Structure 1
Amino acid sequence: MKPTMPSRVTALSAAAVLLALAGCSSGGDSGGDSAGKKTEIKLYNDKGAWSKYFYEMGTLSKQEIGLGMKPVGYTDEPSYTAFIKASFRTKVKPDLFTWTTGGRLREIVKQNQVADTSAIWREAVGSGDLPRSLQDYYTIDGKQYCVPLNTAYWGMFYNKKIFAEHRLKPPTTWAELMKVADTLKGKGQVPFHHTTPTSLFSFVWFGQLLAGTDPDLYERLNTGKASYTDPGVVKVMERWKGLIEGGYFSEPGDKADPADHFKSGKAAMVMSGTWFNTSMTQRGLKQGTDYGFFFVPNVEPSLPKTSLIFESGPLCSLRKAPDPEASTRFLKWWITPKAQGTWANSRGDVSGNPKVRAADPELGAITKEAASDRYRLALRYFEAAPAPVLTAVLDGLSGFLVKPGTYMKVLQDIQKANDQYWKTQGSGS
């Protein structure tokens, strides 16, 4: 994500302060045994709200493999990104860190910063602890890097009490979804939560609308074979503009957390990944009672399969990690059924390990449904787009949320960045 200039300065300053405080090595205050081997490692992450669950995993890893883990969580994405990238140039290096797949992972792999995990993947795929289908998203130039921190499917969370009050049911077609939204709007209820313009999630509706309208165009766009000014992309932006101007979304200036929005009833539906369950349970809400979940129907009803957005966030180790053996040992353990079962079910989410069963029946049903041949998986736009193009898109869409009428200028500006990037790759639209 590319922050505004003040945010960028703040992020870099914050990273500099943390580097100075950390001293000469990220592992300097981690525990070690008499032989000098680490007994505790640090896991840097951009998921500060999940600290409780990370600490639980650290306790479990200590019991199971004799290696504890202490999380260092950030809640500000620009500061976190700045810190990790600063660690490439200094002696202050994390034992493990979270990142994203796609363009951003490729970027730091190309800089020769990330440890090769091909051996871990070979063993895990062979034992059935990781599916071969997921391996592609961790493969760069024939080698694998990192392992799955989490896997999530994207869809719509809906407030069951609000739906029951207005006698509504989860829709199975786009027309039904819009009928639900019209009913809610007619009753004075905001149908959908909309991200704030400054959020890195400004891409969510763009990706969903495009994949649900023309999934082939979605893939071509992310591989430099289509233009952001393509009539199909323009049509998607016009539809989105109509929804914003039609009053279907919460106010873009409202900075309330989407989970708080949802709990308060300000918005009846929130589009998010299954990891959003964690935010809901942290607020005392129960799936099946207080809220439900459905996959977003295609905008284009003639498509043979429903486009299903998914993501898989990586857990990585640096090539020059403080203790490569300890980091590798933890990564191998992390993807085992016991570790993944604890990690996924404690947060109320699905797991990348096929052997893990969801404790929540409804979540288990979601996982089973997602694996059926009725769905066409589409990698979340944040991971699918090349990093430089993603930066331009996040900036452009943030402006669009405030001034929807500027959509054509936004697309033209994004296309300039798109052209520039793909020219350097020997490809283009």
Structure 2
Amino acid sequence: MLSNLFLQFTHIELLISYPVKDLLTLVKKDPRFTVKTLNDIYFEDSFVDESVHRLIMNTVVNWLYERGENPDAFVQRIIDRCAAFEGVPARSVLRSYLPYVSQFYATKDVRQLCLDIIPKRYPLLTDPKFLRREVVDGNRKEYFSFRFDSPGMLVTNPMRWFNGLVQIGPILLDTPPYEHMEFKAAQTSFIEALENRATAEMRDDGFVYVNGRAVGKNMTFGDCLEENGLEWEFDAEKKMTCVKALEDVVDEKVGAVLIHKGCYYGAPAAIVFFDYKADVVAPEPFNKLMSAVVKQEFDSWKPIQKAQEQLLEGLNDSVTVIYYKSDDSISVNSKHLMRNVPARILRNLLREYTATGREEYENREFKRDPAICMDPLRPNFESRLNRVIAHINGTDDKDGNVSEGVKKYFEIERHRRGGFRFVPKCKIIFREE
């Protein structure tokens, strides 16, 4: 089981940036998105398994592509939002740093310490280590290596997400992001990195072509190590074939960088190069985090919480409708909808529907009910039914003022003369009290 921390950042960005109706198209892409799943990635101190992590991250990327949006820009928005301390799950972040608080107040370089504790904060990385660390002209130049036991287990292409996760670290401790970081090698294969946005062709000449251009070349992991002046303890892995990117490959529609020039794809381990100014210290690295925790106890978190509740409600596959005998009214999911004659019409309809599943009704059935039409000579049922439909659709008074309505759960269609159809859109739980 994995911490949900970075999934929280992703989910919060979705809740802030997109209307709930759009997010429902995302969470309904796969039946494995359940209320429990959304709660697990929203609430602090929750955990998810690897399959859920992969489901969410891959689905988000594909959804963004379908919308014509750049996933790289999405990750950058998360980074920018953290820099502004907007929508940061502050308590979760602070709790993840608690074992290292004293170290950050004692360190001479906050950003280097952020890198040092990556293996401890993210234990999903296997065999993490620094291959070389040096200071040149006041800049730290460091090569960090790690691997996943099963490449792609958390997301098909983790490179952009890893970059975002690492950059967020120093930002949340009131220091600048790393000036430069890039993958020199990645376990992600060349094909996987294309994310089905382009087709690669590997030819006998040892080059990889995309759209007729030679954009990659078959090399070995040893070539990557030699190129960067790095040592490696496993000689057999040095002989492994990789594809070195000869140029960037950019998605033609959204501008996402799919392949990064100079990176060796399909390597036995990832190697990330950092080049950043040395000895950057924040006198009070946790001040902003503590302030964010306090603010979130008040009003700043409410819009995000509201969006989460709306998303859960939209995903829910049932609705509860209650008829209250005491005041002749009906509520839907605990919100008042209508009373008096319109409420009685809907009550009779739901009684029949929940008992038999019937959806087609005749006007005359209701005209004969004295509780609905007291004057049999002038029943005026059609206008009363119009009032029920108006409440359901959201127009709830004579002046045409519009309320929220409930037509996302059910509707009434006047599809023929003398009759109408009840159209349920989810499971309906009806009871009378």
Q: What TM bracket, shorter-length normalisation? A: under 0.3
Computing the radius of gyration from Cα coordinates, the structure with the larger value is 2
Q: Which has the higher strand share?
A: 2
Greater fraction of residues in helix: 1
**TM-score normalised by L of structure 2:** 0.20
Name which structure has the greater RCO, CA cutoff 8 Å, separation 6+.
Answer: 1
